[in-house]
Structure 1
Amino acid sequence: MAQTSSTVSDMGSMGDTSAVETKDVIVNEKTPLPGISEKDKLRAEELKNKANEFFKAQDFQNAIIYYSQAIEANPLVAAYYGNRSFAYLKTECFGLALEDASEALAIDRSYIKGYYRRATANMALGKFKKAVKDYETVMKYRPNDKDAKLKFTECSKIVKRQAFERAIRSDDSKKSVVESLDIENMVLEDDYDGPKFENTVSKEFMVDLLEHFRQQKKVHRRYAYTILVQINKLFRKLPSLCDITIPEGGKFTVCGDIHGQFYDLLNIFKLNGLPSEDNPYLFNGDFVDRGSFSVEVILTLFGFKLLYPDHFHLSRGNHESETMNQMYGFYGEVKAKYTSQMADLFTEVYNWLPLAQVINQKVMVMHGGLFSADNVTLDDIRKVERDRQPPETGIMCELLWSDPQPQPGRAPSKRGVGCQFGPDITKRFLESNNLEYVIRSHEVKADGYEVAHDGKCITVFSAPNYCDTMGNKGAFITMGTDLKPKYTTYEAVPHPDVRPMAYANAMFGFM
């Protein structure tokens, strides 16, 4: 069979994350090409070129649309899948990125960027063993690729470290970080001019803390550790599913992902008022990672939870986990601003965060979404043993990772973890649990929120211009006892010149 060329191809090194396929490559000679006309091939190229322009403009959703159309016109070009895989990586659809990379390699086993994309997707999912194998393949064919060599080396280190930790770790013998702390003997230096408290967090401390953080100053480690120890004790007493009551005539606010964007958090408080007994809040997970002011965000949220334990609520997100924090910046930020011991203590505290909340017995709020199994009840959620790292399957996993889809039924997750659920799944869950609607977060939305599933599934995302690149608005939801959601949207505010992911390991700079 004659070789078929296509104007797709290899621009830059493997580590050049701005590269999409643009030049000529030869499609695997063994690949059959039944029914693909020259007209279809030319149309596919035009669509791919249009997708590339959207990609370069960082409009990844439109890039995905046009790569998909190119694939539909000519499904036998590996690079189309490779490019779409890269766009999926940019939108955190790691499961779909993984599928596309594998499809590209099924078409052409010599398509090296397919191994690279697949390794990157597996790395994002914390599947480092699989990532190592593909990076090894890249290095075999491109021994001078420095980026692939770096990632192979770092992934190999992580695999070895995880194996070592599993070998020495026993849940029964593992000591709490809290037990190793000696807070009383942490010296408060004479030149420390930040906020202080004696035994309990006060309103004055919190107001001063916000200003202290706004000026890019650190709270003393003595107080940071005290907040963590006290919040750990508080969280351990809470159930996995918490019940919240809005009193008659009261107001309640639900916020979505903040992702370390402290100055946007300050803007929420400016727009909607500081938390108080009369102005209660729920922050719905993903407080940290990506943004480089995550320490300031999380200590602020924990401080308000200590100040108003019955009127300030926090739910766990998928980024309140050890693997995510090590990849997306939070672990590195805590080590840079404090110590690795404190980073380990955060991991311990996150294990006790509640997984979901129910407002006035009618509205369920969770970070991710619903379930791969029917007949999950609120009591099932209450019974979840949450003191652990998020598993890859089951109720806890899906509460943190799942996403809605417009079509009925269920589908494998675009992220590679959790599931996708349709309007019929939402309707059945609400009916069987006597609920009116659900609120979730977890996804960037152009307006900061989205109403789906006939008004029964609401997404709220509170980090505007996510990662300083997405251009989205942020939003929060307010409601009274009638539980009718009202949406407030806002633009990003300026922040100090510290880029997102500034504290992340260089090998994780693929997003």
Structure 2
Amino acid sequence: MNLSADQLKESANEHFKNREYDAAIDLYSKAIETDSSVALYYGNRSIAYLKKEFYGYALADASKALELDRSYIKGYYRRAAAYMALNKFKLALKDLETVVKCKPNDKDGLNMFNECKKIVNRLAFEKAIAVEEVKKSVADSIDLESMSINDDYDGPQLVDGKVTQDFMIQMMDYFRDRQKLHRKHAYKMILDVRQLFSKEPTLVDIDIDDDNKFTVCGDIHGQYYDLLNIFKLNGMPSETNPYLFNGDFVDRGSFSVECILTLIGFKLLYPKHFFMSRGNHESQTMNQMYGFEGEVKAKYTIQMYELFAEVFNLLPLAHCINKRVLVMHGGLFANDSITLDQIRNTDRNRQPPDEGIMCDILWSDPMLPKGRAPSKRGVGVQFGPDITETFCKLNKLDYIIRSHEVKPDGYEEAHSGKCITVFSAPNYCDTMGNKGAFITMSGKDLKPQFTTYAEVPHPNVKPMAYANSLFSFM
């Protein structure tokens, strides 16, 4: 029996309520194929795309809904949300102005408008003061000597200002018990790792001996208790158990401070055996929207967040293992000529741009068809198996590893095994139901082995607890 467009929409709505977003998108798409004249179908698919973080697709659907029906108020909400996720706050504000004019008594619309207006005004102010010739580093304004540690502090202590193995074990246990590291120790660690990352290249070469194991983890997104579970399953980082964490350490999950301090602690302890790549969420705009800035302000200070932002600008963009496997957060590029040397020569000490090598390496995604397509996220590109094949041949690589996307099993092998996705945050945002995964390999053959795992219990603090209040209206 053929279902009507409206029946398909109702079925999609049920899947959406159950957080089964892929199934919902599929059914909304079938409803649109059956009747492409109804704004609501596009509007509903738009919010499902927003949940999947496909902001480019969400924007297109919201715009199509409004093309069909200019009075469809939810279309303006959806499009504003997509614009904000793409850092286009002025365009979002314009849509929210329409909401307020059409529904002046809508409190959510008014609150969303006011919050967006604050961001637009703040960005304008920051742009105005950015014309100063030399912007001072936040690091220069931090006076560690003036920070005293009270006698009642019973937490872990740095030893002569240095991270030790015992300190790391104590700190992780302290975080597990919802305790806060003293700000003097936190600042010292961030300052030290800032110096460390400033000396690393944009593309880091990693050499693994034939008999040694190496582990690659994907997105963690502030899920601290799942991070601890990785170490439980795979062993603590050490000189004989090296790790690479491939970006998106923070945001969304509400234990991002604990995650990033743990990771930079291991980086300080094992600088040649613990590696960190920048993700698209290691950026100021994403942190302002998705929670990390708010979390650092709540647990410490805005000054500490600004120092983290400086560290994020210094994170390497990619790692190359034994000259045969390239690891980066997002994916490949808008043209076929990009070489490893071009990545090495990319200026990374800045906020991510909207196009170019740095943008693509942080934002792009693979797709099944050949060629390239506009990104479903609205930034970066989608690249097919032929693009991966060409890139690997040009740069003499066996395959690439990237993260950036939720996968049901925590990983996915695509493009004839030459493009591997690994995502290490199980049941992402407490809603997606996915497994997490990490990759292990030996230096001898670099053959990827996958370990998958489910989420572990965490304290009753919801994801996005520190996110911008705009998200409470979406």
CA distance in 2, matches of 1:436, 1:286: 25
Within-5 A mapping of 1:302-317: 302-317=264-279
The 8 Å contact of residues 112 and 473 in structure 2, kept in 1 or not, is answered as: no
Matching residue of 1:227: 189
- Asked whether 1:299 is paired with 2:261, we answer yes
Matching residue of 2:240: 278
Matching residue of 2:219: 257
CA distance in 1, matches of 2:122, 2:200: 33
Within-5 A mapping of 1:105-254: 105-170=66-131, 172-197=133-158, 198-254=160-216
CA distance in 2, matches of 1:276, 1:113: 51
The 8 Å contact of residues 260 and 293 in structure 1, kept in 2 or not, is answered as: yes
- Secondary structure, aligned partner of 1:479: strand
Matching residue of 1:500: 463
Instruction: Count the aligned residue pairs.
Output: 472
How big is the alpha-carbon RMSD for the aligned residues of Structure 1 and Structure 2? 1.1
How big is each residue's C-alpha offset from its partner over 1:476-510, in whole Å with a ceiling of 9 and x where there is no partner? 00000110000000010001111111111221236
- Secondary structure, aligned partner of 2:32: helix
Q: TM-score, normalised by structure 2?
A: 0.98
The 8 Å contact of residues 501 and 509 in structure 1, kept in 2 or not, is answered as: no
Q: What's the offset of the Cα at 1:200?
A: 1.6
* Runs of 4+ more than 6 Å apart: none
CA distance in 2, matches of 1:454, 1:509: 41
- Secondary structure, aligned partner of 1:411: strand
The 8 Å contact of residues 108 and 473 in structure 2, kept in 1 or not, is answered as: no
CA distance in 2, matches of 1:489, 1:298: 22
- Asked whether 1:472 is paired with 2:434, we answer yes
CA distance in 2, matches of 1:171, 1:69: 54
- Asked whether 1:82 is paired with 2:52, we answer no
Q: What's the offset of the Cα at 1:116?
A: 1.1
Matching residue of 2:371: 409
Q: What's the offset of the Cα at 1:172?
A: 3.7
CA distance in 1, matches of 2:376, 2:211: 41
Equivalent position to 2:454, from 479, 491, 494: 491
The 8 Å contact of residues 331 and 363 in structure 2, kept in 1 or not, is answered as: yes
Within-5 A mapping of 1:2-151: 43-151=4-112
Q: What's the offset of the Cα at 1:170?
A: 3.5
The one of the two structures with greater contact order (alpha-carbon pairs below 8 A, sep at least 6) is 2
Matching residue of 2:308: 346
Q: What's the offset of the Cα at 1:49?
A: 1.4
The 8 Å contact of residues 315 and 353 in structure 1, kept in 2 or not, is answered as: yes
Q: What's the offset of the Cα at 1:248?
A: 2.1
Matching residue of 2:295: 333
The 8 Å contact of residues 115 and 469 in structure 2, kept in 1 or not, is answered as: no
Q: Structure 1: any 5+ residue segments left out of the alignment?
A: 1-38
CA distance in 2, matches of 1:236, 1:468: 35
CA distance in 1, matches of 2:318, 2:70: 44
Identity %: 66
CA distance in 1, matches of 2:106, 2:332: 42
Q: What's the offset of the Cα at 1:171?
A: 6.4
- Secondary structure, aligned partner of 1:450: strand
CA distance in 2, matches of 1:86, 1:504: 18
Q: TM-score, normalised by structure 1?
A: 0.91
Matching residue of 1:35: none
Q: Structure 2: any 5+ residue segments left out of the alignment?
A: none
- Asked whether 1:391 is paired with 2:353, we answer yes
Question: Structure 1 318/509 Cα, relative in aligned 2: closer, same or farther at 3 Å?
Answer: farther
- Secondary structure, aligned partner of 1:351: helix
CA distance in 1, matches of 2:210, 2:422: 24
Q: What's the offset of the Cα at 1:110?
A: 1.6
CA distance in 2, matches of 1:59, 1:484: 33
CA distance in 1, matches of 2:341, 2:427: 37
How big is each residue's C-alpha offset from its partner over 1:346-375, in whole Å with a ceiling of 9 and x where there is no partner? 111100000000000000000000001111
- Secondary structure, aligned partner of 1:310: coil
- Secondary structure, aligned partner of 1:155: helix
Amino acid in structure 2 at the alignment position of 1:209: M
CA distance in 1, matches of 2:409, 2:453: 9
Q: What's the offset of the Cα at 1:126?
A: 1.4
